[in-house]
Amino acid sequence: MKTSCVKTFGVLTSGGDAPGLNAAIRAVCRTASVQYGMRAVGIKNGYRGLVKGDMIPLDVSQLSGLLTVGGTILGTSREKPFKNPQPNPETGLLPIEAIKKNYREWNLDALVCIGGNGTNTTASLLAQEGLNVIGLPKTIDNDIMCTDMTFGFHTAVDVATDAIDRLHSTAHSHSRIMVIEVMGHKAGWLALYSGIAGGGDVILIPEIPYDIQSVADKIMERRNAGKNFSIVVVAEGAMSREEALLSKKEFKKLRASMPESIGYRVAHELERATGLESRVTVLGYLQRGGTPSPYDRVLATQFGTQAAHFLARGDFGKLVALQNSEIKGVPLSDIAGQVKNIPAGHYMLQTAREVGTCLGD
């Protein structure tokens, strides 16, 4: 058995679920146990469980069969203990005080926090409070800084691409514009990758504010060339050029007042601009659920095994990241509160343009 400076650690999953969470839990706990003899404590429902002390011992026997299972055996929540903290009316403790109390009472030497931007931002704040923390990058949006890829992303691309493939036949049969709305509130990675993979004629992403007339012109160009249908892939955070000029507060107010999501608005706009029939499919939570792809199983396992090694050598305050095909540790403070948007000159944007895809500009 190898030596380790950590004897007992807690593991939690926080934020939206994503394929590969169970694979990551399995990898970090099995490696920590088999290689170093560490004990694992499962924290239920993300940071909410950490505040409440809702924890269970995890042993290797409980990890069997998890590799292919979607969701998370630990449960999750969007609890943010540092956002507008209020004392517990029963104990009088603030969330961070309760976390530290539970950390001590469960004899934890460290925490492994698996999640997206919000989860790892909170992990960074916990590290600043003196807790030993390691973060793992999970999100179907692929929008965490300092890592080339997050687990969950490839499975979501597979699901979205399969949906686009299926909608092609309906679009062709009925001579329609088919608008497919995918997730991606602040970053358009999922829309861009699935749109290219699915042969989308138009891809609208948050990073490139769209001009509806440019989109309509593309569709009419296809129509005039004898192509009687068009596929429009829209990220949920896509915005028009007019919206891009609004302040953050004004934009949020406008979106809150919309009776339907952005996919429906784009469809209505295109019907008015082209006179062609449009239909909308919002993929929603289908993109987050189900069995992880082989790629995500492997990536989540790589992240989890390396997290165990980080624990053993006391390399805390780090995000386990993928950079140029290597697993590295990145300070959590470097990624906290940030979003990895698609850069203006990214090669995937150029790839889309070179095959004739309209990006709305």
Q: Indicate which residues carry an active-site annotation.
A: 141
How much of the chain is in helix, strand and coil states, percent to nearest 5? Answer: 45, 15, 40
Angle at 223 between CA 222 and CA 228, to 5 degrees: 105
Instruction: Look at the block and give the residue holding tokens 């305050």.
Output: 317
Would you say 237 and 188 are in contact if contact means Cβ atoms under 8 Å apart? yes
Return the closest-CA partner of residue 216 out of 356, 358, 353, 354. Answer: 358
Return the closest-CA partner of residue 9 out of 132, 138, 136, 137. Answer: 132
HSE (CB half, 13 Å, CA atoms) of 23? Answer: 25
| E strand map for the chain | 8-13, 39-43, 55-58, 110-115, 133-137, 177-182, 202-204, 230-235, 278-282, 318-323, 326-331
Max distance between CA atoms of the chain, in angstroms, equals: 71
Lookup: tokens for 312: 């053993």
3-state secondary structure of 106: coil
Characterise 189 by phi-psi region: left (phi > 0), alpha (psi -120 to 50), beta (else).
alpha
H-run or E-run covering 121: helix 117-128
